[in-house]
């Protein structure tokens, strides 16, 4: 039997670089993939990622029932329906709706993954469920959103934890980035909380006010969601 191969990209790679037959997993712990996992768990119909806020607004205007969602500099975009906080995406607000999502980093990782056969959104909030969803896959790419072209420790550690758990099940870590990320794997809820809350981006979000600080706490909580997030 062919062993599964797991690769990690510490920042989004070039468009078209992922094989279309792969399973691609976007990782943006703070906050896009955490938030969108909540949204999908609350019945959002689908997510359409966009690189620019204008594209998201145009898609909403052209498509009935769409919500424009996301952020720039952490805050909701003028004219958008929702920002990038997991607490905004209630069942009442998003059930049955399509989300046109444009964020600073997360939607870029999603766009890189968009042509792949299977696509998941991973975070610490749904980490164990994501591992189970990947158990039968043979070619897995973990795409970290990073921060404006630079690796982000919370994304690297989340991808590394996923890679390490899959490695423990027999998968091969198939590139240097996967080995690097696996060294940051977290082994307990306390480790996850400490790593995420001390991350540079978490400290910046917390400085924006109590609502953002609550988002950080949510994003730093391991396995608060029991379902994987396919989009």
Per-residue confidence band for 76, with pLDDT thresholds at 50, 70 and 90: very high
Distance CA 194, CA 163 (A): 20
pLDDT of residue 50: 98
Specify the pTM.
0.96
In this structure, what CATH number is given to the domain that contains residue 224?
A: 3.90.1560.10
Number of domains the chain contains: 1
Beta bridge partners of 140: 6, 23
- Tell me the pLDDT of the chain averaged across its residues: 97
The parent domain of residue 127 ranges over 5-230
């Amino acid at each position: 039997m062919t062993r599964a191969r797991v690769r990690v990209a510490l920042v989004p790679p070039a468009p078209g670089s992922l094989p279309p037959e792969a399973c691609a997993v976007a990782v943006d712990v703070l906050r896009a993939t955490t938030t969108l996992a909540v949204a999908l768990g609350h019945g959002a119909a689908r997510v359409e990622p966009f690189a620019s806020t204008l594209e998201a607004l145009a898609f909403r205007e052209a498509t009935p029932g769409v919500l424009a969602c996301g952020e720039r500099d952490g805050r909701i975009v003028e004219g958008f329906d929702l920002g990038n906080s997991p607490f905004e995406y209630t069942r009442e607000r998003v059930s049955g709706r399509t989300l046109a999502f444009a964020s600073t980093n997360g939607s870029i990782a999603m766009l890189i993954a968009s042509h792949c056969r299977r696509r998941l959104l991973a975070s610490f909030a749904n980490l164990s469920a994501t591992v189970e969803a990947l158990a039968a896959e043979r070619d897995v790419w973990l795409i970290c959103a990073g921060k404006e072209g630079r690796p982000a420790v919370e994304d690297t550690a989340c991808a590394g934890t996923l890679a390490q758990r899959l490695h423990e099940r027999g998968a091969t870590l198939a590139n240097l980035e996967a080995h690097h990320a696996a060294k940051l794997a977290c082994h307990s809820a306390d480790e996850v909380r400490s790593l995420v809350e001390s991350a540079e981006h978490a400290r910046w979000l917390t400085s924006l006010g109590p609502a953002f600080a609550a988002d950080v706490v949510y994003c730093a909580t391991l396995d608060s969601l029991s379902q994987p997030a396919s989009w």
